[in-house]
Amino acid sequence: MTEKALRLGTRRSKLAMAQSGQVADAVSQVTGRPVELVEITTYGDVSREHLAQIGGTGVFVAALREALLRGEVDFAVHSLKDLPTAQHEGLVVAAVPEREDPRDVVVARDARKLTDLPRGARIGTGSPRRMAQLNAYARTHGMEIETVPIRGNIDTRIGYVRSGELDAVVLAAAGLNRVGRIDEVTDFLSVDTVLPAPGQGALAIECRAGNTAQDAALVAALAELDDPFTRVAVTAERSLLAALEAGCSAPVGALADLLADGQTVKEMRLRGAVGTTDGSTLVQLSTTGPVPETHDAAMAFGREIATEMLAQGAAGLMGERAH
Ligand X SMILES: NCc1[nH]cc(CCC(=O)O)c1CC(=O)O
Task: List interacting residues with ligand X (CB under 6 A).
Answer: 57, 79, 81-82, 171-172, 174-175, 200-201
Instruction: Please give the full DSSP string across 39-55, using - where no structure is assigned.
Output: E---HHHH--S-GGGGT
Q: Cβ(76)–Cβ(69) under 8 Å? A: no
DSSP string computed for 180-192: T-GGG-SEEPPTT
**Whole-angstrom Cα distance, residue 152 to residue 149?**
11
Residue type, 287: T
Closest CB to ligand X among 169 and 218?
169
CB of 148 to ligand X, least distance (A): 15
Residue numbers annotated as active site: 81-82, 129-130, 151, 157, 248
| Pairing between β-strand 264-275 and β-strand 168-172 as defined by DSSP bridges | unpaired
Residue nearest to ligand X (CB): 175
Question: What are the angstrom distances between the C-alpha of 205 and each of 23, 27, 39, 147?
Answer: 8, 10, 16, 33
Nearer to ligand X, 81 or 231 (CB): 81
Taking the least distance from each CB to ligand X, the nearer of 81 and 238 is: 81
> Min. distance of Cβ 263 from ligand X in angstroms?
27
- On whether the CB atoms of residues 224 and 30 are closer than 8 A, the answer is yes
Task: Please answer whether residues 190 and 214 qualify as being in contact, where contact means their C-beta atoms are separated by less than 8 angstroms.
Answer: no
Complex with ligand X: residue 136 or 174, whichever CB lies closer? 174
Give min distance, CB of 212 to ligand X, in A.
30
Shortest distance in whole angstroms from residue 158 CB to ligand X = 10
Closer to ligand X by CB, 81 or 208: give it.
81
DSSP classification of residue 2: P
CB of 132 to ligand X, least distance (A): 15
d(CA 309, CA 323): 20
Instruction: Tell me the C-alpha distance between 249 and 247, whole Å.
Output: 5
